[in-house]
């Protein structure tokens, strides 16, 4: 990191220091609560410290490096981390990976391992997991194809069982069937889990996972029948070798099909145990874990950078004769950033909620009870879509709120954005995920309206709510009951009216699938509304549980109010539509919402300080704790390779150009 001896760096910029003196709550207490206790905070900090003082993990030059250099650094760090983990006794699920901000190779190796643990038989687990854990092999997870993504049934790769040799023969039948995108596969992986259509005796049994070796364990050359490589530069993830893979008559033994739930027996008999949906369970797991690590944490970082910078940056004057004002004192700047901050908190809490739901579901599945799967699947889909979509736009707002300097890679914001934006696509394209959630909601709505039981999270679909919002003045809109009910009403109305529309279409003779396609815009909107409602409700409930910590509860309540009212303010139409909220009430919402901006403004810096990111984790010239923005930017820029290497451009092109001009005079 750009720590320069003898410079201003380290002493806190007075503009930032003054923000910390007026905090209305204890930052340390909020941090501890977010971490789940002081002990967790201590542990997390110790790990971060251990990693950041190790020069191998330095990210100072990250923004200056080429794709090749980034990849090599990621491999180097991942290898070093393994050593370090052994030394320190860290575990796979500990906080170390977060401390490294995902700047590592072998992330897909973890998915490889996880999918074997979940989908493999006991023998398969016993065989492969030790090899993977000790890095005797490097794994990847190959599902997506060049021509096929979220729609898994459309995948074209085939695995045909050959009874005579007791092997599966894997093939890529045409170019669109080539595996495309899997991480770690372009250069690093020796093995991968390939998803392919299983054929036994000419009959297709659908998609199944197979362990396939793709590179030699000796010299890393490609195995016979394998074509693989890197798919080329992307918007981000330069450190990851996302790859392509073509299979030509590649044979793997019968035992390489992951067979906890499905098996092909030696005589070719196909046996299924439990629900086929379980094959998708890895995706559910990944969706839920990515919300915190890949989405909420980057959003928190972006808020930290943008808010700290906004109290250091001064621009124009608010009052004649005074100093130029901090840009965070402008209402328009508050309106850009503070709702994003509230969203970061809201999503942090929703990821807790989902994790709990998931843990419950997982315990049931271990007991071979699959009842919770549909709800789990619907929730993981819908929330993944909503949180990634919302957070992506939030990070982009943070980026643009930093003006020109936000555009510099040294601000850290472009790389946060280009990384988070990928989450809208991977692990299921968001629109498709919303529609999956919508399918579940419509089903539940139908069931609930005929009195059948539905999961507790969706009983509200059949609940009776008042037809008008009871708020009488703008302060009423600071009551969680009032706004939660407004969200509930709105979500129920959208689901209800979409279901009615679907039914109308079908009754008027439109085919079911056509009716569905004609309602998809509405369906996606309804699913989003449902997730928005649950997020608001969960935020309000989280605040309620904070009664033992009144200092923190108060500021969390403000953030909860802001999150909720911002949502109503920016989606006014759907709340006004059936008159649930009147025009006059909407003016109250707006007034309360704008008032809250000024209230939260005072605690904005403490609220991001509480996220407790170190400067090295943020890796941003604009967002460092000391606020020495300009000094840091200047010193860091001078280290850019463009300032160190001599460019041949002058001698080769500029000089001749100038001389030709001169000779013509």
Partner 1 sequence: MCVEWESALFLFSSSVLSLEALVINDPDFQHEDLNFLSRSQRYEQAIRKSSLMVLKLREYGITDPDEIYWFKRICLGNFPEPFGLHFSMFQKTLETQTTDAQKEKWLPLIIGTYAQTEMGHGTHLRGLETTATYDPATQEFILNSPTVTSIKWWPGGLGKTSNHAIVLAQLYTQGQCKGLHAFIVPIRQLGTHEPLPGITVGDIGPKFGYDEMDNGYLKMDNFRIPRENMLMKYAQVEPDGTYVKPLSDKLTYGTMVFIRSLIVGDSARSLSRACTIAIRYSAVRHQSELKPGEPEPQILDYQTQQYKLFPLLATAYAFHFVGAYIKDTYHRISGDIHEGDLSELPELHALTAGLKAFTSWTANAGIEECRMACGGHGYSRCSGIPDIYVTFTPSCTYEGENTVMMLQTARFLVKSYTQVSSGQQVTGMVSYLNDLSRQRIQPQHVAARSVAVRINDPVSLVEAYKARAARLVEAAAKNLQAELNHRKSKEDAWNRTSVDLVRASEAHCHYVIVKLFTAKLAEISNAAVRAVLTELCLLYALYGISKNTGDFLQAGILTDAQITQVNQRVKELLAIIRPNAVALVDSFDFHDVHLGSVLGRYDGNVYENMFEWAKKSPLNKTEVHESFHKHLKPMQSKL
Using the rule CB under 8 A, is 220 a contact of partner 1? yes
For partner 1, the closer of residues 163 and 235 by Cβ is: 235
Nearest approach in angstroms of CB 189 to partner 1 is: 10
Pairing of strands 191-200, 139-142: parallel
Contacts of partner 1 in 607-626 (CB under 8 A): none
The answer to whether the CB of 635 falls within 8 A of the CB of 4 is yes
Residue 589 near residue 477, CB atoms below 8 Å:
yes
Q: Which neighbouring-strand residues pair with 326?
A: 314
Binding mask 136-155 for partner 1 (x = CB under 8 A): x-x-----x-xxxxxx--x-
- Active site residue: 396, 427, 429, 541, which one? 427
Which one of the spans 174-182, 251-259, 266-274, 454-462 is the region binding partner 1 (CB under 8 A)? 174-182
Maximal CA-CA distance, the chain: 92
Residues from 634 through 663 that contact partner 1 (CB under 8 A): 634, 636-643, 645, 647-650, 652-658, 660-662
Provide the sign of the torsion angle of the four alpha carbons 399, 405, 407, 411, taken in this order: negative
144 is known to lie in a ligand binding site: yes
Q: Where are the beta strands (DSSP E) in 248-319?
A: 250-253, 262-264, 270-272
Q: Which is nearer to partner 1, 403 or 455 (CB)?
A: 403
Number of residues that bind partner 1 (CB under 8 A): 132
- Compute the distance between CA of residue 425 and CA of residue 418 in angstroms, rounded to an integer: 12
Whose Cβ is closer to partner 1: residue 13's or residue 279's? 13
Query: Which residue, 325 or 462, is less far from partner 1 as judged by CB?
Result: 325
State which of residues 5, 21, 134, 548 lies at the interface with partner 1 (CB under 8 A). 134
Contact (CB, 8 A) for 632 and 1: no
68 binds partner 1 (CB under 8 A): yes
Nearer to partner 1, 31 or 158 (CB): 158
Which x/- pattern, by CB under 8 A, does the window 1-30 give for partner 1? Answer: ------------------------------
157/333 with CB nearer partner 1: 333
Applying the rule CB under 8 A, the residues between 183 and 212 that interact with partner 1 are 186-188
- Residue 3 CA to residue 290 CA, distance in Å, equals 32
Left if phi > 0, otherwise alpha if psi is -120 to 50, otherwise beta: which for 273? beta
The answer to whether the annotation marks 183 as part of a ligand binding site is yes
* Residue 424 engages partner 1 in binding (rule: CB under 8 A): yes
Taking CB under 8 A as the binding criterion, the range among 41-49, 223-231, 253-261, 343-351 that sits at the site for partner 1 is 223-231
Interface with partner 1 includes 296 (CB under 8 A)? Answer: no
User: How near is the Cβ of 651 to partner 1 at its closest, in Å?
Assistant: 8
Q: Is 343 in a helix, a strand, or coil?
A: helix
How crowded is the C-beta side of 527, counted as CA atoms within 13 Å? 30
Least CB distance to partner 1 at residue 224 (A): 14
| Phi, psi of 433, deg, nearest 5 | -65, -40
One of 314, 439, 554, 602 touching partner 1 (CB under 8 A): 314
Considering the complex, state which of residue 64 and residue 199 has its C-beta at the smaller distance from partner 1.
Answer: 64
Residues in region 492-551 near partner 1 by CB under 8 A: 511, 513-514, 517-522, 524
Closest CB to partner 1 among residues 75, 297: 75
Mark residues 395-414: x for contact with partner 1 by CB under 8 A, - for none: -x---x--xx-xxxxx---x
- Count CA atoms within 13 Å of residue 140 on its CB side: 30
Of the candidate residues 9, 41, 85, 135, the single one contacting partner 1 (CB under 8 A): 135
- Which residues pair with residue 247 across a beta bridge? 226
Taking CB under 8 A as the rule, does residue 579 contact partner 1? yes
Taking residues 448 to 487 in sequence order and writing x for each that binds partner 1 by CB under 8 A, - otherwise, the string is ----------------------------------------
427 is catalytic: yes
Site for partner 1 in 73-92 (CB under 8 A): 75-76, 79, 82
- Measured CA to CA, the distance from residue 304 to residue 425 in angstroms comes to 25
Distance in angstroms (rounded) separating the CA atoms of residues 399 and 181: 27
Distance CA 67, CA 235 (A): 11
Per-residue HEC secondary structure of 10-79 comes to: CCCCHHHHHHHHCCCCCHHHHHHHHHCCHHHHHHHHHHHHHHHCCHHHCCCCHHHCCHHHHHHHHHHHHH
Pairwise CA distance, residues 166 & 485, whole Å: 60
Q: Token pair for residue 363?
A: 């315990």
Residue from 25, 57, 71, 611 in contact with partner 1 (CB under 8 A): 71
DSSP-derived 3-state class of residue 628:
coil
Residues with catalytic function: 427
């Amino acid at each position: 990191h750009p720590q320069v001896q003898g410079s201003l760096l380290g002493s806190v910029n007075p503009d930032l220091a003054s923000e910390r003196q007026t905090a209305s709550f204890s930052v340390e207490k909020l941090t501890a609560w977010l971490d789940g206790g002081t002990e967790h905070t201590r542990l997390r900090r110790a790990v971060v410290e251990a990693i950041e003082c190790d020069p191998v993990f330095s990210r100072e030059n990250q923004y200056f490096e080429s794709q090749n250099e980034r990849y090599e650094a990621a491999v180097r760090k991942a290898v070093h981390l393994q050593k370090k983990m052994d030394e320190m006794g860290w575990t796979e699920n500990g906080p170390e990976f977060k401390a490294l901000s995902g700047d590592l190779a072998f992330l897909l190796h973890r998915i490889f391992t996880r999918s074997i643990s979940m989908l493999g038989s006991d023998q398969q687990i016993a065989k492969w997991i030790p090899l993977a854990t000790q890095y005797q092999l490097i794994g990847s997870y190959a599902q997506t194809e060049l021509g096929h993504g979220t729609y898994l049934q459309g995948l074209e790769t085939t695995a045909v069982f050959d009874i005579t040799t007791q092997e599966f023969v894997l093939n890529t039948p045409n170019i669109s069937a080539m595996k495309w995108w899997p991480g770690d596969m372009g250069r690093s992986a020796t093995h991968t889990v390939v998803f392919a259509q299983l054929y036994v005796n000419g009959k297709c049994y659908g998609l199944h996972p197979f362990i396939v070796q793709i590179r030699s364990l000796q010299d890393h050359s490609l195995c016979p029948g394998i074509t693989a490589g890197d798919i080329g530069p992307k918007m981000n993830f330069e450190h990851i070798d996302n790859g392509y893979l073509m299979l030509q008559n590649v044979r793997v033994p019968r035992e390489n099909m992951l067979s906890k739930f499905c098996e092909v027996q030696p005589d070719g008999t196909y046996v299924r145990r439990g629900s086929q949906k379980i094959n998708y369970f890895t995706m559910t797991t990944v969706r839920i874990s990515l919300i915190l690590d890949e989405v909420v944490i980057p959003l928190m970082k972006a808020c930290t950078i943008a808010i700290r910078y906004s109290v250091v940056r001064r621009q124009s004057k608010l009052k004649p004769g005074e100093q130029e004002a901090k840009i965070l004192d402008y209402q328009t700047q508050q309106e850009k950033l503070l709702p994003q901050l509230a969203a970061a908190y809201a999503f942090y809490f929703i990821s807790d909620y989902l994790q709990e739901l998931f843990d419950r579901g997982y315990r049931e599945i271990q007991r071979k009870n699959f009842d919770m799967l549909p709800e789990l699947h619907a929730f993981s889909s819908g929330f993944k879509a909503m949180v990634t979509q919302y957070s992506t736009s939030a990070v982009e707002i943070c980026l643009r709120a930093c003006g020109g300097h936000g555009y510099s890679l040294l601000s850290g914001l472009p790389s946060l954005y280009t990384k988070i934006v990928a989450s809208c696509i991977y692990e299921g394209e968001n629109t498709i995920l919303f529609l999956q959630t919508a399918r579940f909601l419509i089903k539940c709505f139908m069931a609930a309206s005929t009195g059948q039981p539905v999961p507790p999270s969706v009983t509200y679909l059949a609940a009776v709510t008042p037809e008008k919002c009871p708020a009488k003045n703008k302060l009423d809109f600071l009551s969680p009951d009032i706004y939660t009910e407004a969200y509930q009403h709105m979500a129920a109305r959208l689901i209800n009216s979409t279901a009615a529309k679907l039914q109308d279409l079908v009754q008027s003779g439109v085919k079911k699938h056509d009716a569905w396609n004609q309602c998809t815009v509405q369906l996606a909107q309804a699913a989003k509304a449902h997730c928005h409602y649950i997020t608001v409700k969960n935020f309000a409930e989280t605040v309620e549980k904070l009664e033992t910590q009144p200092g923190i509860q108060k500021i969390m309540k403000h953030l909860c109010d802001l999150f909720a009212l911002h949502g109503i303010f920016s989606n006014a139409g759907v709340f006004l539509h059936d008159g649930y909220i009147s025009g006059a009430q909407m003016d109250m919402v707006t007034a309360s919402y704008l008032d809250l901006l000024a209230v939260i403004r005072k605690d904005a810096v403490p609220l991001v300080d509480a996220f407790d990111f170190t400067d090295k984790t943020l890796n941003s010239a604009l967002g460092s704790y000391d606020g020495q923005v300009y000094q840091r930017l200047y010193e860091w820029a001078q280290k850019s390779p463009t300032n160190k290497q001599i460019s041949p451009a002058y001698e080769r092109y500029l000089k001749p150009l100038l001389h030709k001009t001169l000779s013509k005079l």
